[in-house]
Amino acid sequence: MGVFSKRTIRKGGRIRVLIVDDSVVIRRLVTHALQEDPSLEIVGSAPNGSIGLARIPQLNPDVITLDIEMPEMNGLEMLRELRKSYKDVRVIMFSTLTERGASATMEALSLGADDYVTKASNEGSLDRSMASLRGDLIPRIKQFFLMEGETAAPPPGAPLATAKPVTKVPPQASLYRAHVPPEVVCMGISTGGPTALGAIIPTIPADFPLPILIVQHMPPMFTRLLAERLQANTKLKVEEAAEGALVEPGKILIAPGNYHMRVCKKGLKVIVKLDQEPPENSCRPAVDVLFRSVEETYGAAAIAAVLTGMGCDGLRGAEVLKAHGAYVIAQDEASSVVWGMPGVVANAGLADAVVPWFR
């Protein structure tokens, strides 16, 4: 896995976007949604993958928005070809909230897509569809870039603090270095998560003695498919968490899309509680929600890892865990697709170790 540092756009420059979609309506909608932002430039569009590929050397895009289902050459076929020659172009997939759409999106992420957005459905009006698309797509494009002269400011509400010296330790070693004997590992992850987890989970030994709880920012269906993909590559038990599921050694539980996941004690056991309380950090599931419940249930006997992702979800939860003696790990910038979530944890001085998760 290469270095994912943000690309700097020179002063006065704009992020160049190529739209590849067979729907004229979607191409126009995306164009109108994006052209209102002065830092973005729509350099062209294409109705299928083969035409999209032909236009890359002509238009030199920084980002491609890519539909999955198209005639002649679909999005997955284009992505396979694109990654052979264009490693640095960021690709954001357009997905539908269907089983087929979720499965294709998971495949796209494994082929090298950087992120995805789900197509707005039943928005009721053009204005609402535009607002929804603008609010979802523009931040996902900008997360990969830094405008010259700007500094990477922390998200609103993130504390300004001097980062602790970076401690480079192997990820496996860090899982056993908690201040008290650890009883659980909890992870928060977003953009780049499926690829990161796909690399991390198979390296965890089959006799790993702790439960692993994961919040990956994803909608319904996507989290179940993620669990199934991870299960295919590990001897540990991987499940999309269900209400009342037992938290047990050697079991990996992934928060289901659109539900917060908490853990609590029930007699001598620990179980999962799911709810649809309001989103936190615009997320449901939210990492902060899981981390707070882990602190309430395990206290210092927890290891928390904040991995690649946009925003600051996990920061407040990491603060709570750290204050009660838990061991906190942040992924380093070089191996993060987006150093947002782990970056704010590291820069707040909360990380006991800042580690590369890929070699």
Is 32 a catalytic site residue? no
Sequence-ordered list of residues with C-beta below 8 angstroms from that of 271, at least 6 positions apart, any chain:
244, 245, 246, 247, 263, 264, 265
HSE-CB of 290 using CA atoms within 13 angstroms:
33
Among 62, 115, 129, 217, the active-site one is: 217
Which of 42, 193, 231 has the alpha carbon at shortest distance from 105?
193
What does the chain come to in residues?
A: 359
- Which is it for the CA torsion 139, 217, 195, 298, positive or negative? positive
Is 190 a catalytic site residue? yes
CB 256 within 8 A of CB 223: yes
Helix (H) or strand (E) holding 83: helix 75-85
User: From CA 17, how far away is CA 14, in angstroms rounded?
Assistant: 9
Is 179 a catalytic site residue? no
Among 95, 129, 174, 190, the active-site one is: 190
Secondary structure letter of residue 132 according to DSSP: H
Among 21, 313, 332, 352, the active-site one is: 313
User: What residues act catalytically?
Assistant: 190, 217, 313
